[in-house]
Structure 1
Amino acid sequence: MGKELGEAGARRRRSTASSSPHQLLFLLLAFAWLCSVAAAVDTDTLRLGDQLSPGKTLVSSPSRVFELGFYPPDPKQPSRLYLCIWYRDISPRTVVWVANRAAPATSASPSLALTDRGELRVLDGPANATAAPPVLWSSNTNSSRANYTVVIDDFGSLKVHGGGGGDGDGGDVLWDSFAHPTDTMLPGMKISVRTPGRGPKEQMLFTSWASPTDPSPGQYALGVDPAGSGQAYIWKNGSVKFWRSGQWNGVNFIGIPWRPLYMSGFKPSIDPLLGGTFYSYTATNTSLQRFVVLPDGTDICYMLQKASQEWETVWMQPSNECEHYAICGANAKCTAAQDGKAKCDCLKGFRPKILDQWNAGNWSQGCIRGPPLGCQVNQSGDGFLEIGNIKWPDFSYWVDTVSDETGCRNACLNNCSCGAYVYTTYAGCLAWGSDLIDLYELPTGAYTLHLKLPASELPKHHPVWKIATIASAVVLFILLACLFLWWKRGQNIKGAINRSWRSSARSQQNSAMLDISQSIRFDDDVEDGKSHELKVYTLDRIKAATCNFSDANKLGAGGFGPVYLGKFPGGEEVAVKRLCRNSGQGLEEFKNEVILIAKLQHRNLVRLLGCCIQGEEKILVYEYMPNKSLDAFLFSPEKQRLLDWRIRFVIIEGIARGLLYLHRDSRLRVVHRDLKASNILLDADMNPKISDFGMARIFGGDDNQFNTNRVVGTFGYMSPEYAMEGIFSVKSDVYSFGVLVLEIITGKRAVSFHGHQESLNIAGYAWRQWNEDKAADLIDPSMRASCSVRQVLRCIHIALLCVQDHADERPDIPTVILYMSSDSLSLPNPRPPTLMLRGRDPETSKSSENDQSHSVGTVSMTQIYGR
């Protein structure tokens, strides 16, 4: 046996000796690579003296969603290795950050090492090699701390800690990859213009890859305008503007109206350390989400579909030629055709600068004024033409000397260099100079620009009074005809519903039973290009879906009546809400909900699918919410722990956005009047949806408040002026929202403070704790470990502002959202509630228990008469 082994060894030595040096080197490198892969391990912390080499990875802790390691993005060039962060369990591999993108490793054993100065280095060879390998990339950290550690947090940020206990948690963050992005924006990142110290401004840019397989810096970069306009730009080759977002209007960028970014958690904030405004976003649900600047300059938002584990495109800019920066030149408006091609037209009062080029389709030279402004030739009569659905031009300037639209108009009118203006409550007065750059006619949105024109270009009446009279008469006749048809149509619908209601009051007259088999269409309500349709179901179909209102299908009950789970053929699940005959909420509430909610469409409002009006049955059919209502989680000792702070904050923000839509952004201005935990439903991703609009009321455009002698709502959630005087407004909903926020934070019902020594309501108790610097004691113990105490305390502060006694002292919902979105905005001190309802003696409590004019629980009140 020994002889055979010796001969075999001799043969191997002869074979090795006969091989070329290049073959030998290749074999050694391959052997080293295989050894490293065979020994592949991962860790969640890198410390001084450790090194990361191919086959070994650093994973995020504790989620293990992200992973750092060496990876060849180009399968055709596997020897070109980059240090990358990618999603750990998603295939194909999706890279979100690259360190040495300008200098790939070409050796078989590159490494990541941490120096004794806290500096991360990517080396083109082992860190412990005799000869120091080339440095391909460095974090340029220079610290004198100790106990350096490198970790990836759950958001995908690679961080260097120093000066802590050596566990990566106790020390300061010396370096953060989120401050040095590549092409991908993840939740938690900030896009800003930084001003470190007193030095020059430093832009934080998201730079595209050179190609889909080459992570080296490409031609396109996304960032915030360094001039301070707050707009986002995509630049090509460093300085050429390729795309512009438009100004921020409070919930979105003007140039992106069809996908509200605020609803995706995208929002602006002010950070003095960053030197101004920055934008960031937090995922509003549990799905993974990322923004990526592609090699062709497209900024695209992807969301991971949980079922298929595939990335779905939910947002993309630019998506047509009109979104390319200033494609039509100055003073011209771009309209996108069906195929995405641009069509340019000069604005009213302007003409092509070079007619031949314009007619040939070369619009880059833009347009110039035709007749001059009156102020330019010492004449008067200049005015403004409204241009609707327009992306506001670039290079606006803020007029800070005015406080309303009239002042903004006059400021532009009196400045001959002003060519247009816009006034909004969020942005104030914006004005533009003589040239208007990058105008795009949007397919949707209510953004209006006031264009300054001479009197000769403004619309005017014909001088012949007879023609004017005839034209007026024709218009009046058409309007009257339209109003009559509209009134007649409304009467037909309301008449059908009223006839059904009258039949329910006459149970013996079954022959008058109404069975509506067709849909009621609200043709005047169109959103996203589709008319909203309210289906009317037959009672037999509802009974079949709910197994004849079986108790096994019962989901719960409220003031309206029981709610059942229904399943239609095909598997569609719905929630069926059945009006009880003895329900305190009756015909008015049913009618109100059918007519009102069918006109409201928002991601944070529950969707009404249809109704059934047959005989004595009055039924509403809603989309099914698998997680039921918020109170089922919030006040259940078993389920409370499932609501960590992240979920609770998402719920608070979602409720606020739903109220923002009701109070300001919907076609109808609506006051809900019964906002409470049981009326907040939760979908499969725990996103909140406001429900139960039976008590809601529509405000007119100029109405600020109403007075009613029929007070409806729920004890503990009603504002003082509404409960005692019957006065309600949008500020009534703000009060209810504040109570709801306190419930979400404390995990206690608003009415659970009866008999408390100091207060009978949650508002009074919370204010007392806050005033005594004990606000942290309000935090629900089941979420204390998962919460940011600072953020929770700020939400308590905001809630106390919302529950102030006087309506005019409460912030409106847009202000509330602004307070929640920016930690840097200072909050005013809330006033102490005067209606803290001090504890009463047992006899008083006993007598009040016999008072049946209202409910102390969560059942809605239906009839309290105010003064």
Structure 2
Amino acid sequence: MAASPPLLPLQLLLLACVCGVAAAAAARDTLQQGESLTGAATLVSSPSGVFEVGFFPPDPKLPSRLYLGIWYRSMSPRTVVWVANRAAPATSASPSLTLAGNGELRVLDGSAKDAPLLWTSNTSTQTAPRGGYRAVIQDTGSLEVRSDDGTLWDSFWHPSDTMLSGMRITVRAPGKGPSEQMRFTSWTSETDPSPGRYALGLDPSNSGQAFIWRDGNVTIWRSGQWTGQSFVGIPWRPLYMYGFKPANDPSLGAYYTYTASNTSLQRFVVKPNGTDISYMAKKSSQEWETVWMQPSNECEYYAKCGANAKCTIEQDGKAKCTCLKGFQPKLLDQWNAGNWSQGCVRSPPLGCEVNQTGDGFLSIQNIKWPDFSYWPSTEGDENGCMNACLNNCSCGAYVYLNTIGCLIWGSKLIDIYQFQSGGYTLNLKLPASELRSHHAVWKIITVVSAVVLFVLVICIFLWRNHGRNIKDTVHRSWRSIHTSTRAEQNSGMLDISQSIPFEDETEDGKNHELKVYSLDRIKAATCNFSDSNKLGAGGFGPVYLGKLPGGEEVAVKRLSRKSGQGHEEFKNEVILIAKLQHRNLVRLLGCCIQGKEKILVYEYMPNKSLDAFLFNPEKQGVLDWRKRFDIIEGIARGLLYLHRDSRLRVVHRDLKASNILLDTDMIPKISDFGMARMFGGDQNQFNTNRVVGTFGYMSPEYAMEGIFSVKSDVYSFGVLMLEIVTGKRAVSFHGQQDSQNIAGYAWRQWNEDKGEELIDPLTRASCSLQQALRCIHIALLCVQDHAQERPDIPAVILMLSSVSSSLPMPRPPTLMLHGRAVDTSRSSERDHSHSIGTVSMTQLHGR
């Protein structure tokens, strides 16, 4: 017989593929009654082959210690989600898993029938059903013992340290075998699957809360009550988006179900250090990414501040405990020394405790509700809930929420965490004396404010007589046409004595003066507004390059007489920006008000605006990733100054790429404050007469309801971040994959693990991929539909500067708006406005 020719490389490859397919087809997912799984043999889930069952050594240094486990088949290194014989590893070379005739799963330390028993499912039955039992591994990761009559046992009923999609999280483990409390128990260490010190489960008293315990009964963390979308202790993560839903079963009681999205693999793991971490698999690399973690700061640890005290996180990330109003430290010396565990006690007592009347309630915002609440079943509205607490002297606080009803607490309020944003309101019961003192504070503030206002009026009167007040200068100029004097002709200035210093408002402490220029000087500087000097134009009007005596170049912004914006914006910008000085804000040098001309003079930015680089194919390459990230950080720090660090809190309301100017060093500077609004002192609200801005950058609540706050700027910043990362205009995504704006498109790409495709191809190869993807993640948090779910700017800066901390999961945007300029009211119309909380609401009148 002639020898067969040698196989060619292509033939070898085809043969390998055929063998691989045959091996996959040969892989079984079922262990029949009486069969055994021994040695290196495994079961593979069907039909997708996601999970695998077999024996494995968790510690590579101890390969002889074997455990029966379930793991993700495609992940490397091996990711184990369930272990059977956690307390008793096999040491023989060939341990086995058998399915007995009574339906019981057994792990033996050897292949012989009399080998030592290491673990059993404890599910024996008196008589085997017709057709017998079979053990099947599902694509969900569950190992089930079945018969034609149904499921006898399920590994999901007896979890290890991992929660998978499809699990029902109950107080007691279901099934026909012995009932036990259902807990997810950590490994002892990363290489030792024996039961560790920490466990997660539902409150046995059926409050609906999840807890992490140490050593069986020491509470480490609690989730807080379920509100219908999230747990109170995790307000920024709408867990219903992950598939969490409450349910009820006559045999199990209340429980939660968990069904993850089909687009990703996700798991929750109780780690050996006591933290609960959510992981999501990246499709591109098949690596696990940390999505979020609890507890993640000191305030999230249970009862950090003891009873009747609240915990807050300071700017340096450290926890701070404060007694609730109407309470004082129980042990003052320990409290001052930083030992807060003893908490606080009520002082003075409630009126009902000393036979007095007048008790009432103080509402505290952004709270994780205390532990040990209960629901009065007969109270169906807020008034009824309040009266139930008021008429019960043992009641210390109450809340009412439509989705869950009425909750009241006793005299000790345990584990209160006050978030920087988000959370819920707690109505704290106080005696009349404390409520009067609380109202007295506001009376004092009112009186002081009146005195300060009176002093300001006197000062304005005095400054007016000396020509020192810029606002008076602007308004006088509005009422009359200035006639140029000989001094104006010689100097080019109206009166140099009218230069106004603002050194107390500057970031660097320098004396910045605002000058009032004559129209003749402006015309001379711009060659009579020559088209050759024109830099661009916006809704306000054209902008020209000017050159002052001495060679200083300036940008001259001229109000167009046909502009729909104009008088109010001009006055607003002169009065506002003259008082704001920061490295990342454009500096106003002066103004001109003469006749019908209204002109602003700025420092000149030779690189013009961000959009001139970002969306220009010829200049995009100049913005490498390092410059783009520096621009993002610079804009964020400018917003931080506006929102928090300046004496006046300012909402810009028109943040977009064309309003970000770049100096010679490509340092970004926020410009165009014509739409900005101020919140003076401790004021948190402002009534606006007009809703103006650009759709696509405008937050949903502002665009559709006229509600604006600092979170409106956060939304615009998120859109701007996405533009900087992608190199594309927000409106250029219209029509792509049913998205109407960049936020919807970016979320879909990021959620499908295609975030890398969003990065501008010009920077993709050289950028820090982790940093760019983190920027996309932060931007998606900034463009959340609801303002309370967006981070504030200090939190954004912290996220940008940190590369290790985990970020919350963003929700998919549902409100997607076209990108076009809009002014929803005529300047001649007056809107009826009112305020609620920390935002302003405007009733809109269309054109």
**Fold-level match, TM-score > 0.5?**
yes
1:137 corresponds, among 108, 117, 120, to: 120
C-alpha displacement at 1:199, in angstroms? 12
Partners of 1:336 and 1:594 lie apart in 2 by: 31
2:817 corresponds, among 686, 692, 695, to: 692
The one-letter code of the counterpart of 1:262 is: Y
8 Å contact kept, 2:614–2:623: no
The one-letter code of the counterpart of 1:276 is: G
**2:300 aligned partner:** 323
**1:629 aligned partner:** 737
3-state SS, counterpart of residue 365 of structure 1: coil
Partners of 1:239 and 1:464 lie apart in 2 by: 45
Cα gap change, 1:478/1:91 in structure 2, threshold over 3 Å: closer, same or farther?
A: farther
Partners of 1:686 and 1:356 lie apart in 2 by: 45
Partners of 2:75 and 2:187 lie apart in 1 by: 20
Cα gap change, 1:544/1:176 in structure 2, threshold over 3 Å: closer, same or farther?
A: same
8 Å contact kept, 1:72–1:80: yes
**1:843 aligned partner:** none
8 Å contact kept, 1:70–1:83: yes
**1:334 aligned partner:** 311
Matched, 1:291 2:268: yes
**2:157 aligned partner:** 179
**1:670 aligned partner:** none
8 Å contact kept, 1:121–1:137: yes
8 Å contact kept, 1:270–1:277: yes
Partners of 2:397 and 2:811 lie apart in 1 by: 45
**2:225 aligned partner:** 247
Cα gap change, 1:239/1:476 in structure 2, threshold over 3 Å: closer, same or farther?
A: farther
3-state SS, counterpart of residue 315 of structure 1: strand
Cα gap change, 1:704/1:325 in structure 2, threshold over 3 Å: closer, same or farther?
A: closer
Partners of 1:453 and 1:308 lie apart in 2 by: 56
Task: Say what the alpha-carbon RMSD is for the aligned residues.
Answer: 5.4
The one-letter code of the counterpart of 1:429 is: C
8 Å contact kept, 1:117–1:144: no
Instruction: Map residues 359-378 of structure 1 onto 2, 5 A cutoff.
Output: 359-378=336-355
**1:262 aligned partner:** 240
**1:452 aligned partner:** 429
Instruction: Map residues 143-154 of structure 1 onto 2, 5 A cutoff.
Output: 143-154=128-139
8 Å contact kept, 2:358–2:432: yes
Using structure 1 for the length normalisation, give the TM-score.
0.55
Instruction: Map residues 307-322 of structure 1 onto 2, 5 A cutoff.
Output: 307-322=284-299
Matched, 1:80 2:65: yes
**1:115 aligned partner:** 100
The one-letter code of the counterpart of 1:204 is: M
> Percent identity of the aligned residues?
54
3-state SS, counterpart of residue 375 of structure 1: helix
Matched, 1:55 2:40: yes
Matched, 1:386 2:363: yes
Cα gap change, 1:447/1:511 in structure 2, threshold over 3 Å: closer, same or farther?
A: closer
3-state SS, counterpart of residue 389 of structure 1: strand
8 Å contact kept, 1:193–1:274: no
Cα gap change, 1:212/1:426 in structure 2, threshold over 3 Å: closer, same or farther?
A: same
Instruction: Map residues 602-617 of structure 1 onto 2, 5 A cutoff.
Output: 607=719
Partners of 2:811 and 2:408 lie apart in 1 by: 42
The one-letter code of the counterpart of 2:209 is: Q
C-alpha displacement at 1:331, in angstroms? 1.2
8 Å contact kept, 1:422–1:430: yes
**2:87 aligned partner:** 102
Cα gap change, 1:137/1:322 in structure 2, threshold over 3 Å: closer, same or farther?
A: same
Partners of 2:177 and 2:133 lie apart in 1 by: 28
Partners of 2:442 and 2:312 lie apart in 1 by: 36
Farther-moved stretch of structure 1 (149-158 vs 38-47): 38-47
Q: What do residues 172-209 of structure 1 show as CA deviations (whole Å, max 9, x unaligned)? A: 33322111111001122121224869999853210111
Matched, 1:343 2:320: yes
C-alpha displacement at 1:293, in angstroms? 0.7
C-alpha displacement at 1:453, in angstroms? 1.2
Cα gap change, 1:417/1:187 in structure 2, threshold over 3 Å: closer, same or farther?
A: same
1:66 corresponds, among 42, 45, 51, to: 51
Partners of 2:358 and 2:442 lie apart in 1 by: 21
Partners of 1:630 and 1:367 lie apart in 2 by: 55
Partners of 2:210 and 2:97 lie apart in 1 by: 34
3-state SS, counterpart of residue 220 of structure 1: strand
8 Å contact kept, 1:606–1:623: no
Partners of 1:51 and 1:601 lie apart in 2 by: 64
The one-letter code of the counterpart of 2:223 is: S
Cα gap change, 1:536/1:625 in structure 2, threshold over 3 Å: closer, same or farther?
A: farther
Instruction: Map residues 503-582 of structure 1 onto 2, 5 A cutoff.
Output: 544-545=616-617
**2:194 aligned partner:** 216
Partners of 2:253 and 2:842 lie apart in 1 by: 38
C-alpha displacement at 1:57, in angstroms? 1.1
Matched, 1:411 2:519: no
3-state SS, counterpart of residue 371 of structure 1: coil
8 Å contact kept, 2:85–2:118: no
3-state SS, counterpart of residue 357 of structure 1: helix
The one-letter code of the counterpart of 2:359 is: D
**2:400 aligned partner:** 423
3-state SS, counterpart of residue 170 of structure 2: strand
Partners of 1:462 and 1:228 lie apart in 2 by: 42
8 Å contact kept, 1:118–1:160: yes
**1:282 aligned partner:** 259
The one-letter code of the counterpart of 2:295 is: P
Partners of 2:187 and 2:340 lie apart in 1 by: 31
Partners of 1:428 and 1:210 lie apart in 2 by: 41
Cα gap change, 1:464/1:310 in structure 2, threshold over 3 Å: closer, same or farther?
A: closer
- Equivalent pairs counted in the alignment come to 561
Using structure 2 for the length normalisation, give the TM-score.
0.56
Partners of 2:351 and 2:97 lie apart in 1 by: 68
8 Å contact kept, 2:31–2:136: yes
8 Å contact kept, 1:259–1:315: no
Cα gap change, 1:224/1:354 in structure 2, threshold over 3 Å: closer, same or farther?
A: same
2:208 corresponds, among 230, 241, 248, to: 230
8 Å contact kept, 1:251–1:261: yes
The one-letter code of the counterpart of 1:305 is: K
Cα gap change, 1:197/1:162 in structure 2, threshold over 3 Å: closer, same or farther?
A: closer
Partners of 1:65 and 1:199 lie apart in 2 by: 28
**1:190 aligned partner:** 168
1:43 corresponds, among 9, 18, 28, to: 28
C-alpha displacement at 1:627, in angstroms? 9.5
C-alpha displacement at 1:444, in angstroms? 2.7
C-alpha displacement at 1:237, in angstroms? 1.7
Instruction: Map residues 390-405 of structure 1 onto 2, 5 A cutoff.
Output: 390-405=367-382
Partners of 1:355 and 1:663 lie apart in 2 by: 41
Q: What do residues 285-327 of structure 1 show as CA deviations (whole Å, max 9, x unaligned)? A: 6232211111221111122233443322221111223222113
8 Å contact kept, 1:195–1:274: no
1:352 corresponds, among 307, 312, 329, to: 329
> Structure 1: any 5+ residue segments left out of the alignment?
1-37, 164-170, 489-494, 503-508, 515-519, 524-530, 549-565, 578-587, 613-618, 633-645, 648-656, 668-684, 711-867
Partners of 1:181 and 1:464 lie apart in 2 by: 55
Cα gap change, 1:66/1:686 in structure 2, threshold over 3 Å: closer, same or farther?
A: farther
The one-letter code of the counterpart of 1:242 is: I
C-alpha displacement at 1:478, in angstroms? 9.5
Partners of 1:64 and 1:197 lie apart in 2 by: 26
